[in-house]
């Protein structure tokens, strides 16, 4: 998937300014496709050059004018073409998991600290998804036009809950290692010269 495809998908909801698109990425699309504001503005220029979107200037009094972007027929066609291709599962590249793979060779306390921060991050995201679900889909159903958004949100909730549960399990396992009688945490072995 390219950023342009994600922007075209966002514009199926409604016409938006670059600022509104950036906010959409910050609050919804960004949960599963990251882009900063500069990347979005650069891609908007490319999409205009290709004829996939058009910008309409809206005159504002007391503020700079704004450009509101909409999909063109070519843009809708490009989105349908992109969506017809098979998707690829996202590869996992997570340095925390690499650390766990080498658990017997690293210091546990910095790992535990990192894990606690990760736990809080995923708890916060889970709570944020729940708030969005309750606000946008109070009866947990969606119109055909919003079904994809609801299903994506439900997957996000499940993913965050799973990661929270794994982090809690990992924290408990690390505590068991460091508290087990006769087991010296790796960082203490290093201080004692036992490595």
What does the alpha-carbon distance between residue 193 and residue 195 come to, in Å, rounded to a whole number? 6
pLDDT in tens, the chain (195 residues): 588 999 999 999 899 999 999 988 877 776 777 888 899 999 999 999 999 999 999 998 999 999 999 999 999 999 999 999 998 888 888 999 999 999 989 889 999 999 999 999 999 999 999 998 999 899 989 898 889 889 989 999 999 999 999 999 999 999 888 776 345 544 454 445 544
Q: So what's the pLDDT on residue 1?
A: 56
Q: Domain for residue 147, yes or no?
A: yes
What does the alpha-carbon distance between residue 157 and residue 127 come to, in Å, rounded to a whole number? 9
If we measure between CA atoms, which residue out of 127, 98, 83, 109 comes closest to residue 171?
109
In which element (H, E) is residue 67 found? strand 66-71
Instruction: Tell if the pTM clears 0.75, that is, is over it.
Output: no
Q: What is the CATH number of the domain that holds 52?
A: 1.10.10.10
Domain extent for 171: 95-192
Q: Domain for residue 99, yes or no?
A: yes
What does the alpha-carbon distance between residue 193 and residue 13 come to, in Å, rounded to a whole number? 62
The dihedrals phi and psi of 59, each to the nearest 5 degrees, come to -80, 130
Pairing mode, strands 53-58 and 16-17: unpaired
What does the alpha-carbon distance between residue 46 and residue 40 come to, in Å, rounded to a whole number? 10
Task: Give the residue from 84, 112, 137 where a domain finishes.
Answer: 84
Q: Domain for residue 89, yes or no?
A: no
């Amino acid at each position: 998937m390219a950023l342009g495809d994600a922007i075209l998908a966002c514009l199926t909801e409604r016409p938006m300014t670059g600022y509104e698109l950036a906010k959409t990425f910050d609050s919804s699309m960004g949960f599963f496709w990251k882009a900063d504001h500069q990347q979005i503005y650069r891609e908007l220029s490319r999409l205009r050059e290709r004829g996939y979107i058009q910008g309409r200037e809206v005159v504002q009094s007391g503020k700079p004018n704004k450009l509101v972007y909409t999909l063109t027929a070519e843009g809708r066609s490009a989105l349908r073409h992109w969506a017809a291709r098979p998707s690829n599962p996202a590869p996992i590249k997570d340095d925390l998991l690499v650390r766990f793979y080498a658990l017997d060779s690293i210091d546990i306390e910095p790992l535990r600290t990192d894990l606690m921060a990760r736990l809080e991050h995923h708890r916060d995201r889970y709570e944020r998804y729940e708030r969005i679900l309750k606000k946008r889909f109070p009866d947990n159903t969606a119109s055909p036009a919003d079904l994809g958004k609801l299903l994506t949100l439900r997957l996000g909730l499940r993913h965050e809950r799973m990661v929270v549960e794994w982090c809690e399990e990992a924290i408990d396992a690390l505590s068991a290692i460091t508290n087990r009688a006769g087991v010296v945490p790796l960082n203490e072995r290093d201080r004692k010269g036992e490595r």
